[in-house]
Amino acid sequence: ATEALRKAEERAVAGRLALEVMHEVKNPLEALGHLTYLALQEADYPEKVRKYLLQAEEQMENLSHIARQTLGFSQQMEKPRPVDLVAVAEAAIRIHQRVIEEKRIHLVKDLREGAIAQVFTGEMLQVVSNLIVNALDALPAEGILRLRVRKRKNEVDFVIADNGHGIPAQHKEALFQPFFTTKTDKGTGLGLALSKRIIERHNGRIRVRSSIRPGKSGTAFKISLPLRWR
């Protein structure tokens, strides 16, 4: 499982890169789509040119599809295996170590071993990584990021909490919907939607608590998964 986790970690780094690239690619791709559409409205050019434009439009569809797929680090071939969520937490921390240090974030690790769940390691790492990215985005310099892993009676819990700016009540409905984002520059609005889908596929739940009260603001996402009995 350690080897699987290490591979998943590598893919996670690649996944983040893909996300950044995808964001750079999205706008010009959209512009191309609009331009082709507009060009196709013009009637007075040879049939041949029309055909080429239609083909270009088709290829852009393909590109969009690939971009959407690249968003996941999941690979089809992976099998679910028993993994201690503490190991997932440690791997996720390593991925974001640089930003954590640069922002001088106070990382509080409250990780108790034995929280074993049956998971697709790559997918679970992606979820935790997404939640950490969101927390880091919400946190000011020297903010607090808290990770907690616990084994319960029939479940395992993973909490990612920050004392960042929090989420206004009117956004809570939309949070898990694809493309909802408040990040004007770099948001895709896909992180939470994707995370929720992955957790539900693992028969788990993901819940959020948040406050925007000045001085007491912050957000906690809690993932619960069925405990895997050895």
Give yes or no for residue 36 binding ligand ADP (CB under 6 A): no
Query: CB-wise, 12 or 227, nearer to ligand ADP?
Result: 12
DSSP calls for 9-59? HHHHHHHHHHHHHHHHHHHHHHHHHHHHHHHHH---S-HHHHHHHHHHHHH
Closer CB to ligand ADP, 5 or 220, in the complex:
220
CB 130 within 8 A of CB 168: no
**Whole-number Å distance between alpha carbons of 63 and 68:** 9
> At closest approach, how far in Å is the CB of 9 from ligand ADP?
20
- Binding marks (x or -) toward ligand ADP, 175..204, rule CB under 6 A? x----xxxx---xxxxxxx-----------
Other CB atoms within a 10 A radius of the CB of residue 176 amount to 16
Shortest gap between Cβ of 76 and ligand ADP (angstroms)?
A: 23
Least distance CB 156 / ligand ADP (angstroms)? 21
The sign of the dihedral angle between the CA atoms of 106, 112, 114, 118 is negative
Q: Which residues bind ligand ADP (CB under 6 A)?
A: 130, 134-135, 138, 162, 164-167, 175, 180-183, 187-193, 219
